[in-house]
Amino acid sequence: MSDYDAIVVGAGVAGLGVATQLQQAGKKTLLLEMYPKAGGRMQSYDLPGGYRVDIGLHMIEMGKKGYCHELGARVGKEFEWAAFSVTLDLYEEGKWQDMQSFIRLTEEEKASFIELMKGIAEMEEPDFKAWDNRSFGEWLDRNHLTGSLREVWENMSMIMTTIPDAREQSAGECLYIAKEALVKGRAVLIAAYPRGGMWGVIGPLVDAFRELGGELRLGARVEQVVFEGRKVAGVKVARKGASPIAREWRFVSTDLVTAPLVVLALPIWHLDKVLDFDRRYSPLPGWWLKRIEDIRGERTGLLGYIIATRRPLYERTVFMSALKSPRTGLPLQAFAPTAFDPGVAPDGRYLLVTDNVAEPWELEDKFNLARLMERHWEDVKELYSFDDGEVELAIPYYTTGCDGLARKPGLTGDFKPDVQAPSVDGLFFAGDTYLGRGLAIEGASRSAILCVERILA
C-alpha cells in the first residue's frame, strides 16, 4: 500500500493548483517544495519597515478574467485584484508617453488597424498552430506594420514573450495572448496585480490545500522519481542532517515516499535532477528524453531592481516599456506596485520594479552581469529622474528562466511537452514549461488545469 495517492513536486502556482485540485478530488496528496517558502517564482517576502516585495517583476495576464483566477475559483478561493493595466506607456525621445499619444495614425491607417484587430479576435486554435513555428516578426512583415504602430507591437510582443527580438518570438503565442485580451478585455494586452502582491495568489492556494487536508512539506528536496518497471512508485526525498560533511564530498541520504501518481511541477531544465536521462536505464522513451535535452536550454532572462523611495517615481497604473535602454541597449520593462496597491509599502513610501530583458548567456557570466547591473541602475535613474540619495531600498535581482520555456517558434502550442509522460504510468507535468498557452503565470495556471483534467479523466 502506498503512503499517498499522489505526490506533487514544486509548490509554485502550478504545483499548488494541481495538488489542491487532486486533494479536492479525494486523492490523499503530498506537496513537496525544496525552498522554505511556497510560491516558486512567485514568492513574496515581508521586509522590515512594512514592505512586501515579490521576487522579480510580476503582473498577471488577464487578472480576474484569466486562468489564474479560474484556478483559484476551482478550489474555492477568489483572489482579490488591485487595479488593471489595459494600456502601455513607452519611453521615447527622453520621456514617457502613453500608447495613444505615441501612435499617430491617419484615418485610413486606423481603419486598417481595426480590421487587423477584428481578424485576431476571430482566430481559432488551428490559426495559432499555423503560426507556432513562425516568428512574430514575419507576422508583422506580412501585415505591413511599420513606424510607431510596429514599435508598439514589438514592445507588446517583447512583454508577452520576454524575448528581445520579434524574429525570435513565436507568432502563435503572441497572437493567442492578443486574442484572449481582445475578446475578454477589448485591449491587446491586459494585466493585473493581486492585492497584497503575489502572495495574494499563493497564500490562498496554500490555505485551500491545507484546509482540504493536504500535506505541504517545505524545505523538502526531491532527489529522484522512483519507478517499478514502467510505473511510478514514488520519490526519494533528501534526508535532513544525514551527514555533517560538505555536500560535494558526500552522497545524499534519502527516504522513499510512495505513491502511484507523481506530478512534477518543475521547470524543464530541472527534470534531469529528478529523472534519470540515461537511455540505458530510464523507463522513458529515448525520443522524449532527446526532445527534453534539445529544448531545456531555451530560457529567457531578466536583470533589474526593486526600488523603494520616499516619493512616487511613477503613479500611473500601467506597465512601462522601452525597446532599448540608453546604456544597456536592452529592452526595459517596469511597473510601480504601489500605484496598483499602496498596501505593499509603508505609508509615504513607494515601490518601483524595473528590469532589462536579456539572453541567459548574458547573465550567467558574473562579470558581464555586474556591468549590466551598473548600466541598468544609471538607466533607471535617468528614466525616472531620481538620484541615489532618494533611495531607501534597492534590491538587485536577476534570473534565467523567468517565464519558463522560451516562447520561440517551434516551442509553443503543441510543440511544448505534454502534461502526461509517454510510455509510463503515473507520471505527469505541470507549469509554464509544459502544455498550456498564456503568458507566464497564466500559462502555468492553464497547464495545472489541463494536467488535473487529464489525470482525473
pLDDT of amino acid 113: 85
Q: pLDDT band for position 108 (50/70/90)?
A: confident
pLDDT of amino acid 347: 94
Which CATH architecture is the domain 301-400 placed in? Answer: Alpha-Beta Complex (3.90)
Decide if 349 contacts 289 (C-beta within 8 A).
no
CATH 3.50.50.60 fits 6-43+198-297+406-456, yes or no: yes
pLDDT of amino acid 227: 98
Instruction: Examine the pLDDT at 247 and tell me if it is beyond 80.
Output: no
pLDDT digit string (tens) for 5-60?
Answer: 999 999 999 999 999 999 999 999 999 999 999 999 999 999 988 999 998 888 99
For the chain, the average pLDDT equals: 94
Of all residues in the chain, what percent are helix, strand and coil, respectively (each to 5)? 40, 25, 40
Decide if 14 contacts 266 (C-beta within 8 A).
no
pLDDT of amino acid 252: 85
Higher pLDDT, 84 or 194: 194
Instruction: Examine the pLDDT at 86 and tell me if it is beyond 80.
Output: no
The count of residues in the chain is: 457
Strand partners, 353: 306, 335
Decide if 339 contacts 84 (C-beta within 8 A).
no
Cell of 290: 532527446
Asked if the domains 6-43+198-297+406-456 and 301-400 are classified in one and the same CATH topology, the answer is: no
Domain 87-189 class in CATH:
mainly alpha
Instruction: Examine the pLDDT at 103 and tell me if it is beyond 90.
Output: no
**Helix (H/G/I), strand (E/B), else coil: 245:** coil
Instruction: Examine the pLDDT at 173 and tell me if it is beyond 90.
Output: yes
What is the domain partition of the chain in residue ranges? 6-43+198-297+406-456, 87-189, 301-400
Q: Percent of the chain at pLDDT above 90?
A: 82
Decide if 27 contacts 262 (C-beta within 8 A).
no
Q: Report the Cα–Cα distance between both ends of the chain, in Å, rounded.
A: 23
Q: How, if at all, do strands 51-54 and 44-47 pair?
A: antiparallel
Rg of the chain taking only CA atoms, in angstroms: 22
Pairwise CA distance, residues 91 & 99, whole Å: 10
Closest by CA position to 305, among listed 196, 239, 247, 383: 383
Closest by CA position to 57, among listed 351, 330, 269: 351
Instruction: Examine the pLDDT at 251 and tell me if it is beyond 90.
Output: no
**Stretch 282-294: mean pLDDT:** 97
pLDDT of amino acid 101: 81
Pairwise CA distance, residues 61 & 65, whole Å: 9
Pairwise CA distance, residues 128 & 144, whole Å: 19
**Stretch 279-308: mean pLDDT:** 96
pLDDT of amino acid 357: 94
Instruction: State pTM to two decimals.
Output: 0.95
pLDDT of amino acid 79: 97
Decide if 235 contacts 2 (C-beta within 8 A).
no
pLDDT of amino acid 242: 65
Closest by CA position to 70, among listed 441, 455, 418: 441
DSSP state of 314: -
